[in-house]
A and B are shown apart, each in its own frame.
Chain A
Amino acid sequence: MTQAATNNTWRLLLSLIIVGFFISCENSNTVGGDLIEPASVKIDTVYINKFTQKSVEPFSGRIGQTPLGVYEDQLFGKYESTGYYRPLLLSKQDTLTLNSSFKLQLIFNDATEYGDSTKSVDMSVYRIAEQWRDKTIKNSDELLLDQSQLMGQFTYTNEDTIEVALSDSLFADYISIQESDDNLRDSLYNHGYFGFALVPSAANSKIVFPDLENSKIFYVDDSDEDTVSISFKNFAFNLKRTNTPSFANHLYLNSNLESFYSLNFSEIIGDIKAENLLKAEFVIYEDTLQLQNSLPANHVRPEFNYIDLKAISSSQFEYDMQFAATDFIAAKNSTNSLYSFNVTDQINQYIYGSLDSKELFLNLNPNSGIIYSSVFFDSSATNELRPKLILTTIE
């Protein structure tokens, strides 16, 4: 055989190998899908039966929005909320005199309200007569007020912003302290000036929620029309509760933390037979029918979209219950009126890790200042509506 023929043959062979290499890079296809058994995904349900009801007294200081007003909810009882405010002490450069006018400007960022939407809210302004700290005050703490002298009043209907004229005498002490020597100002301010309260009229049938981060006090000097704004150093609220509800066959959640629940997946782990768990969802169903039926015409409740599920293991339970980061959040599914928590990682720790037990707390977040309440079906409901763990597994 000639050398040329031999060389050509080797080249042919090499070409075949290279062509074959490229041709071998094919994508997979569905042919044979009925021949080869596919992965079998299974959906299982494990019902959660044990919920332990709990309550704590939350802090009300420096919460974003303070509730103001009175409302008696047919389902959830009566709320009466008074706001407490102390303006920031201005520097000495700001010249304040009693020949000026002081106004309170309340900002309402959204139309959130609780109660009879056709009604307005009447509020009165009184001096606070005792020392207080917004970092320690709780919902149930009621401060001593000097109600012998009205410092201002207003009626809120549905405005974005409302300005309330305040009595000069409310600021007489404030101005005196503001003009004091530097070494005395702070002490005088902390021990001598306590701010004012916004007290709702007992006849109210609505609660509103001003935004205290952006609300402020205006001081207008009548002589030169100079305007100085004063933000709040401290703000909080007192929330009185009467006729608090008790639900025999429902889970009751309230952002006031007067009702939340603990649960523990360790009690149902033995019922989980999954070897290859893909997803675990903890689902609870809201009783929207009862909520709607208990609300008279033109009455509204604030709507929430998220529920928290958190693990707390520290000794500061009350503080952490309100302020610790949430481990799991469920968003509202309006179609099915359910909230679903993706707790896959938690269940994985039980099945594949070394977790034996972990208490979780189901609650509505209290830190917006808006009053939320709702009821959910418990283990006495039909299977469709009972709290459950939905497991997606591969067999």
Chain B
Amino acid sequence: MMRLKNLAAFCILLGITFVSTDFAVAQDDEGKSGTAYSSYGTGMPVLTNTAQERAMGIPGVSFNDLRAPGLSNPSFWGYGSYSRIAANIDFNSFSVEDANGSGKNSLLQIASFQAVFPIIKNNLGLSVALYPETRSSYNVNSYQTVAFGDSELNYLSNRTGTGGVTNFELGLGYKLFENLSVGYAPAFSFLTEKDSEFVGFTNANINANLVSRKTSGTSVSHRFGSLLTLNKLLRNNDILQIGATLNLPTEFSATRNSETTKTVGNTTEVITLGTEEQADVSMPLKYGAGFTYFASPMFNFSAEMMNEKWGEAKYGLNVNEQNNFKDRSVYGIGAQFHPYKSRSKKFLSNFKYSLGVSYDTGHLEINNEEINTLWFTGGLGLISPNFRSNSSFDISFQYGIRGTTNQNLVKENIFGINVSVNLTELMFLQRKLN
């Protein structure tokens, strides 16, 4: 009954999140309001870490938590007897500033959805997931003038963008040996971007205009992972996990169309502007490595890095933007403390706590300035007390500082909340005793 209640509550929560996210998008018309840097290429690259991994400041390639299925390393899925479902929800608030002013943006969205099923308990697992690889979300105004005879024409230009590369993935994790597992996850990648350009004039004799540019493309991506687990290195109950991942480059043959509406004769028609553009767009080679040391059941710490070869990525639809790409590296260290395992009755002992710091060099260099981000993170997690269920939810808090106001760029102070709701249940387990 408790499990059904939890399941019902989870579904209700997920439903509310979907509806509220849709409503938020509708209220802000087509554009969500995130970082202006996501206007470059297919958007900002997104790490596929869970809330607790994010709280620790790490990509998660070496942190395998059986309660919370993760996307960071396919080799994790070979572990465990539980069926696991997880949804990650992101909320980010951006305090933005440039040389001309300041403002606030915010973004609420579903980060990922994943289900992991043990095909062979503690040996072979299947993961089904939907998650973004890049995300574009911006909504920016600028006021412009153009010479018109002896006077000037003033107009407002608004650019909004949504979309990115999303992966629908089916992957397998397999325990080769007791202490070595591998994983492979191919995905169907689809690129969908919508960029809207609105122009409005203070001169009422010129009609406003909205142009919608839609970019699409599909591809198949491949990623691999491995995890080496070593026990009793320094203590009797310690565990060292060393993880590594590899994402192969992905190429899209992207197409872009631009449309607007015009009054032609007595009718309003949708007009295609220009011809369909076709160009190559690619996701770069990515690799990550790191280790997590579980000193005891109560404490663990991690150090990881990830490297993405954005300098070799293509965005043929806008070569100027492509020329701003550069290789990206992410370095993170973090630690966790699990007082709930002490079975203390104190309220604060019911949770697990995470802290971390990470540095992201960013994938963009604009006007000779590297767009990097320094993150300070923390979080807590709550575990279900039901012995048949290891369901949990984790919440992480991140504070990041990105960019600069030099060179007409934008500096962002980012406050983020990430929530992972993890439903971990024994499914398809035949009772041996009635």
Q: Which residues on the B side are within 8 Å of A349 (C-beta)? A: 264-265
Query: Considering the chains assembled together, what is the distance between the CA atoms of A30 and B395 in angstroms?
Result: 32
* Contact-residue size bin, chain B (C-beta under 8 Å from the other chain): 35 or more
B residues 406-425 in Cβ contact with A at 8 Å: 408-410, 417, 419, 421
Judging by beta carbons under 8 Å apart, are A32 and B211 in contact? no
Query: Considering the chains assembled together, what is the distance between the CA atoms of A353 and B384 in angstroms?
Result: 65
Q: Which residues on the B side are within 8 Å of A43 (C-beta)? A: 146-148, 153
Query: Considering the chains assembled together, what is the distance between the CA atoms of A42 and B153 in angstroms?
Result: 10
Judging by beta carbons under 8 Å apart, are A41 and B106 in contact? no
**Does B269 sit at the interface, judged by CB under 8 A?**
yes
**Does B102 sit at the interface, judged by CB under 8 A?**
yes
0/1 per residue, B180-206, Cβ < 8 Å to A? 000000000000000001110000011
Query: Considering the chains assembled together, what is the distance between the CA atoms of A10 and B417 in angstroms?
Result: 16
Nearest-neighbour CB distance to chain A for B351, whole angstroms, equals 9
0/1 per residue, A19-49, Cβ < 8 Å to B? 0110111101111111111110111000000
Segment touching B, from A152-160, A256-264, A275-283, A363-371: A275-283
Indicate whether A38 sits within 8 Å of B159 (C-beta atoms), given known contacts A20-B108, A24-B107.
Answer: yes
Contact of B13 among A1, A13, A24 (CB under 8 A): A13
Q: Which residues on the A side are within 8 Å of B96 (C-beta)? A: 29, 31-32
Query: Considering the chains assembled together, what is the distance between the CA atoms of A276 and B262 in angstroms?
Result: 9
Judging by beta carbons under 8 Å apart, are B382 and A1 in contact? yes
Indicate whether A41 sits within 8 Å of B410 (C-beta atoms), given known contacts A16-B419, A35-B366.
Answer: no
Q: Which residues on the A side are within 8 Å of B148 (C-beta)? A: 43
B residues 19-56 in Cβ contact with A at 8 Å: 20-21, 23-24, 27-28, 31-33, 36-37, 39
Q: Which residues on the A side are within 8 Å of B205 (C-beta)? A: 279, 342
**Does A392 sit at the interface, judged by CB under 8 A?**
yes
**Does A356 sit at the interface, judged by CB under 8 A?**
no
Indicate whether A34 sits within 8 Å of B197 (C-beta atoms), given known contacts A342-B205, A353-B264, A394-B211.
Answer: no
Judging by beta carbons under 8 Å apart, are B101 and A29 in contact? yes
**Does B323 sit at the interface, judged by CB under 8 A?**
no
Nearest-neighbour CB distance to chain A for B21, whole angstroms, equals 8
**Does A5 sit at the interface, judged by CB under 8 A?**
yes
**Does B209 sit at the interface, judged by CB under 8 A?**
yes
Indicate whether A33 sits within 8 Å of B13 (C-beta atoms), given known contacts A20-B417, A23-B91, A38-B144.
Answer: no
Judging by beta carbons under 8 Å apart, are A21 and B24 in contact? yes
Judging by beta carbons under 8 Å apart, are B206 and A31 in contact? no
Indicate whether A23 sits within 8 Å of B141 (C-beta atoms), given known contacts A13-B419, A28-B158.
Answer: no
Judging by beta carbons under 8 Å apart, are A352 and B269 in contact? yes
Indicate whether A24 sits within 8 Å of B24 (C-beta atoms), given known contacts A14-B13, A30-B101, A43-B148.
Answer: yes
Q: Which residues on the B side are within 8 Å of A392 (C-beta)? A: 153, 206
Judging by beta carbons under 8 Å apart, are A348 and B262 in contact? yes
Q: Which residues on the B side are within 8 Å of A13 (C-beta)? A: 13, 393, 395, 419, 421
Contact of B100 among A30, A41, A342, A344 (CB under 8 A): A30
Indicate whether A41 sits within 8 Å of B141 (C-beta atoms), given known contacts A23-B106, A276-B209.
Answer: no
The dominant DSSP class at the B interface is strand
**Does B312 sit at the interface, judged by CB under 8 A?**
no
**Does B350 sit at the interface, judged by CB under 8 A?**
yes
Judging by beta carbons under 8 Å apart, are B140 and A17 in contact? no
* Contact-residue size bin, chain A (C-beta under 8 Å from the other chain): 35 or more
Query: Considering the chains assembled together, what is the distance between the CA atoms of A137 and B147 in angstroms?
Result: 51
Chain A residue nearest in CB terms to B382: A9
Judging by beta carbons under 8 Å apart, are B106 and A29 in contact? no
Judging by beta carbons under 8 Å apart, are B207 and A30 in contact? no
Number of residue pairs spanning A and B whose beta carbons lie under 8 angstroms apart: 193
**Does B271 sit at the interface, judged by CB under 8 A?**
yes
0/1 per residue, B98-111, Cβ < 8 Å to A? 11111111111000
Nearest-neighbour CB distance to chain A for B431, whole angstroms, equals 25
Contact of B89 among A17, A18, A35, A348 (CB under 8 A): A17
**Does B257 sit at the interface, judged by CB under 8 A?**
no
**Does B139 sit at the interface, judged by CB under 8 A?**
yes
**Does A130 sit at the interface, judged by CB under 8 A?**
no
Contact of A23 among B93, B153, B209, B410 (CB under 8 A): B93
Indicate whether A17 sits within 8 Å of B24 (C-beta atoms), given known contacts A1-B350, A31-B96, A278-B207.
Answer: no
Q: Which residues on the B side are within 8 Å of A352 (C-beta)? A: 262, 264, 269, 271
**Does B273 sit at the interface, judged by CB under 8 A?**
yes
| Other contacts beyond A24-B91, A33-B142: 6, CB < 8 A | A20-B91, A30-B101, A33-B141, A35-B37, A35-B39, A39-B144
Residues on B facing A (Cβ under 8 Å)? 9, 13, 16-17, 20-21, 23-24, 27-28, 31-33, 36-37, 39, 89, 91, 93, 96-108, 138-144, 146-148, 153, 155, 157-160, 197-199, 205-207, 209, 211, 260, 262-265, 269, 271, 273-274, 340, 347, 350, 366, 382-385, 393, 395, 408-410, 417, 419, 421
Residues on A facing B (Cβ under 8 Å)? 1, 5-6, 9-10, 13-14, 16-18, 20-21, 23-26, 28-39, 41-43, 275-279, 342, 344-345, 348-349, 352-353, 392, 394
What are some 12 contacts across the A-B interface (CB < 8 A)? A13-B393, A23-B108, A25-B28, A28-B28, A29-B105, A29-B141, A34-B408, A39-B197, A41-B153, A345-B263, A352-B262, A392-B153
